Structure 1
């Protein structure tokens, strides 16, 4: 039996000093033939670990030692790639967003990719418990010739527990700029009766999981038709998905009534888009 979700209140029920706040700041640069981490800053319960890689790429795994986030918690991630560097950023596990007593859980991510650099931003999914309130923003600044693969996914309720996200809030904001010019602006807002909203045909048609992938760079734009062919295969039968070009970005949207089906399809798709195996944490 689940506790009923609490609607938003004008004043939080818990004071700010009992909430968690922190984040991670990373800077990568090209050193010889390899990408190296140059600066690492950690605060609160957030950490970064760097698995050994055997190519020129650097990999970082973000860890929330608190095991999840609740209403009033705040996390900030800043990643900067210097010229010619190549990095993959992921998370140790799915991020759990617990039921709120009134305040929003806030996640703010800022990515900067300088000339000829390549970044793959591949966090695992955010799982919203019933009654969760998540406000999330992703801001990306690209150089004229840099490359990006960015992915964010969200599960509405704990499917394995038979939970439906009856009430809550999700505000998700994307802003991508190329050489200072805004090329992608996307906002999603679901408020109140989340399950009822997602049941509407024009919104989710009963979906319980969603994902967005964006990819910047000439090779990604050229792959759009191949990806559409892939999305039509049987492996994606339980997922509604589409791919298209927006400005100079490849954009892929995915929805599914089965959260695990979406994750399996997402893994297949990301391997195709990135051209490499996903970080090991995706399979553990």
Structure 2
């Protein structure tokens, strides 16, 4: 029996981890990419807890994009988890960040403790960042907050996406309870270009209403800053991508936005990947190079 139990306080395991409503398990990863002699190098990779990166890859050539895979060995977030990811891209550097598998958001525990995830991406003047994680799967009963802040400076360019699958329909386990709150902030020289807050609550009328989620179980957003002639790019996307009502594309304040709202993870992923392949030559004058990890 623990000392706390003898004294009448809450029982804690000998490891020191809490199992009550105050639990907090933190993990963090801080990356910095710099241009050294025309080569983008990962010059800093500091971590705490179960967040890591593999070594840098150069599948497009030594002087092209530096590909890095962000690893979270537990494979998902549980109650009390607090993940913080930060990437800084210096002038002249070009980084492509992705993940080896889907991120999972597990059901909250009996105390209803939430998880938290914070992603901060800073791209300095002349830097290029591609943020291309694999999808996130929210289990029924998951509770937490996702915050993404992309800060661009000067002529920085950024292209990325976020895919969310709610529930596990194939296992007849829909997302029927819980609450996930998403915050997205994209700024240029400190001025906001795109601010968004979205609560995902299956018990709220918005979740089923045609004016909101419309009952969709899969959603995706692709964004791109720095696409030359965005109007022409949008025309190409509309003429090339599958013709269906589940996606739309527009440009506002210099940010090209493509949205998907439907029920199929594979359809959403294929749409975003094809859009990336079409946009990349316009965006940075280079063909898309599929990360090897997506093919395993």
Equivalent-residue separation in structure 1 for 2:33 and 2:56 (angstroms): 14
From the superposition, tell whether residues 197 and 161 of structure 1 become closer, same or farther in structure 2 (CA, over 3 Å): farther
Equivalent-residue separation in structure 2 for 1:158 and 1:93 (angstroms): 16
- Whether the 8 Å contact between 2:161 and 2:272 is mirrored in structure 1 is no
Q: Which blocks of at least 5 consecutive residues in structure 2 are unaligned?
A: 1-17, 281-286
SS across alignment from 1:223: helix
2:194 matched to 1:189?
no
Shift of 1:192: 4.8
2:25 matched to 1:20?
yes
Shift of 1:224: 1.8
2:88 matched to 1:80?
yes
1:44 alignment partner, one of 22, 37, 49: 49
- Whether the 8 Å contact between 2:57 and 2:68 is mirrored in structure 1 is no
Q: Which has the larger radius of gyration?
A: 2
SS across alignment from 1:219: coil
Alignment correspondent of 1:276: 288
Alignment correspondent of 1:209: 218
2:258 alignment partner, one of 252, 263, 270: 252
- Whether the 8 Å contact between 2:42 and 2:56 is mirrored in structure 1 is no
Q: How many residues align?
A: 267
Following superposition, which runs of at least 4 residues in structure 1 exceed 6 angstroms of deviation?
Answer: none
- Whether the 8 Å contact between 1:26 and 1:80 is mirrored in structure 2 is yes
- Whether the 8 Å contact between 1:83 and 1:114 is mirrored in structure 2 is yes
- Supply the RMSD in Å over aligned alpha carbons: 2.0
Say which structure, 1 or 2, has more relative contact order (CA 8 Å, 6+ apart).
1
Equivalent-residue separation in structure 2 for 1:23 and 1:247 (angstroms): 32
From the superposition, tell whether residues 96 and 213 of structure 1 become closer, same or farther in structure 2 (CA, over 3 Å): same
Equivalent-residue separation in structure 2 for 1:29 and 1:89 (angstroms): 14
Alignment correspondent of 1:33: 38
Alignment correspondent of 1:6: none
Equivalent-residue separation in structure 2 for 1:263 and 1:109 (angstroms): 21
2:68 matched to 1:60?
yes
